[in-house]
A = this chain, B = another copy of it.
Amino acid sequence: MDLDRLVADAREGVPRAVGRLISLVEDGGVGGDETPLRELAAALAPYTGHARVVGLTGSPGVGKSTTTSALVTALRADGRRVGVLAVDPSSPFSGGALLGDRVRMGEHATDPGVFIRSMATRGHLGGLAAATPQALRVLDAAGCDVVLVETVGVGQSEVEVVALADTTVVLLAPGMGDGVQAAKAGILEVADVFVVNKADRDGADATVRELQHMMSLNRREVSGPSWRPPVVRTVASSGQGIDELVGALDAHRAFLADHGRLAEGPRRRARAEIEAIALADLRARIRDLSGALGSDSALGELATRVVAGELDPYTAADEVVASVRA
């Protein structure tokens, strides 16, 4: 694989090259060798820093993909180049998503100003926390003005991914108990913009009220001028409210710019990426520790002793940490 050629093609916006580079990131290198990822990171560095990242999250069924698709239409009408990353939680068992979100984005498939990718990390080095910033760098270098990251909004890892965005949109829909679900998953607190989608349905007003009530209970403590997340009503399937959503995204961007905070997102992504890669390295070292008996890993032997009641798990963990640091 000629990495320089691929990077050059990706910068020209050749979809196949963009796709191959994201696959490389997703697979964690070639056959477990991370060397190409290191080279890719170095090769892309000069061409990044332009794209803004918008995260979209919410429970299954609120209409994330439909909203994402409508946003793509609106941003394209505005002449902006758009990337979409649909992040599927990885399966630790079979290695990946069976079905992608690509199918639902069919209408944009032939637009050369749009790149769409489903991502599943296959338990590779650093998982989503590392792979997502890497894929964003590819799309950034490919000339995207905006990258939309769509995740299922229930779960720790997914909250972590969406927290990497410059602007985070949390979607709810009427009548699904979503307010509660959202709060439980911790996504209420990460929202810069709320969308109540399917706003033509019964219960939309109640959802908006519940949201405003929860926000009043749950103010983020921030230093300096604070951003109050607006609540936008949409019917994504008909495009209703999507222009208002674009306006809200731009207003948040302007707020960050006015307060000298545009660098926060990129810095957060870099920090998460470095930490994720370092932790994955350390985790691999933990799993590679060989046991005293030779027939099992050290971790497996320690687990057996904990189950037998000979050792408590904290002391076992101390032994693991000491071995990794030795």
> What bracket does the count of chain A residues touching chain B fall in?
35 or more
Q: Which residues of B contact A152 (CB under 8 A)?
A: 154-155, 181, 184-185
Tell me if A256 is interfacial: C-beta within 8 Å of chain B.
no
Q: Which residues of B contact A195 (CB under 8 A)?
A: none
When chains A and B are docked, how far (Å) is the Cα of A34 from the Cα of B158? Answer: 28
Tell me if A214 is interfacial: C-beta within 8 Å of chain B.
yes
Among the stretches A69-77, A93-101, A108-116, A142-150, the one at the interface with B is A93-101
When chains A and B are docked, how far (Å) is the Cα of A320 from the Cα of B276? Answer: 11
Q: Which residues of B contact A37 (CB under 8 A)?
A: 314
- For A313, give its contact among B97, B183, B270 (CB under 8 Å): B270
Q: Which residues of B contact A59 (CB under 8 A)?
A: 60
Total identical chains? 2
> Which A positions have Cβ atoms within 8 angstroms of B?
34, 37-38, 41-42, 45-46, 48-49, 59-61, 88-94, 97-99, 127-128, 130, 133, 152, 154-160, 163, 176-177, 180-181, 183-186, 188-190, 214, 218, 220, 263, 266-268, 270-271, 273-275, 277-279, 281-283, 286-287, 299-300, 302-304, 306-307, 309, 312-318, 320-321, 324-325
Q: List 14 A-B contacts (CB under 8 A).
A: A48-B309, A59-B60, A93-B186, A94-B218, A152-B154, A154-B155, A271-B302, A274-B299, A275-B317, A275-B320, A277-B316, A278-B321, A281-B318, A281-B321
